[in-house]
Amino acid sequence: MQQTARILISFLILILFGSFLHAQSTVRKKEKEPSPIGFGANLGNIRFFNNTFQFGLSPNIAYRFSPSFAAGFMLKADYYSVRYPSFNLRFSALDLGPTVFTRWKPLVNMDGATPFLRGIFIQAEYERALIARESTDEFGNLILNDKGNRIKTVRSGEDYLYLGLGLSSGYPFSTVVSIHYNVIDMATLSRIPFDYRFGFTYNY
């Protein structure tokens, strides 16, 4: 009886030890698997014209579903500033644009494709932009505050649907250049339809 108990205890110890080794092996395998989460940042929408300056920064985070497809979230922050020398006034604002996007690299898995071709991507994104601009009357004249020393602000929400083409070089750290077009461009929108960017991404 005691001999049987010893055998059972030894057998249980072996099972537990084997399970422990298997669990450790599984953990190591999982640790070696690359994370599907990537991130990056873009500079863009930089313009100088008619006493106006614009500058855009857009940090982003993405989930890589496959080597060729990723989707994520981007927060665009666009600085806008314009001078009116004849009035000795300046107006500036920071526009925010929460954005969802998808990126597809159609040639990344193509046999014989060069690194240049593998880096080509197509991107679609929807942005709900929160924009502040100078307040004007029906004739286009600036509307000032009661003291006459500041331009009043008018705020609005605007929708942008961009389709873009870009190129990324390197992996997992990539440098990126791209150009995007707002396919729902209207005269009432504050921005011009084209937007160009350059920046970096990691892991997508």
User: 53-87: per-residue pLDDT in tens?
Assistant: 999 999 999 999 999 999 999 999 999 999 999 88
The full length of the chain comes to 204
- Cα within 13 Å of Cα(201), Cβ side: 27
- Distance, C-alpha 119 to centroid of its chain: 17
3-state secondary structure 50-110: CCEEEEEEEEEEEEEEECCEEEEEEEEEEEEEEEECCCCEEEEEEEEEEEEEEEECCCCCC
Give the global pTM.
0.78
Percent of the chain scoring above 90 in pLDDT: 73
Predicted local confidence at residue 24, as pLDDT = 58
DSSP3 helix / strand / coil % (the chain, rounded to 5) = 15, 55, 25
Give the residue-averaged pLDDT of 177-184. Answer: 97
What are the tens digits of pLDDT across the range 128-153? 999 999 999 988 899 999 888 899 99
Give the residue-averaged pLDDT of 178-196. Answer: 94
Residues 52-74 as b/e (b if ≥16 CB within 10 A, e otherwise) read eebebbbebebebeeebbbbbeb
Q: How far is CA 106 from each of CA 163, 166, 198, rounded to the nearest angstrom?
A: 15, 12, 20
pLDDT of 11 > 50? The answer is no
Kindly state the DSSP code that residue 149 receives in the 8-state scheme: S
Give the residue-averaged pLDDT of 14-18. Answer: 52
Identify residue 35 by its one-letter amino acid code: S
Give the residue-averaged pLDDT of 109-130. Answer: 95
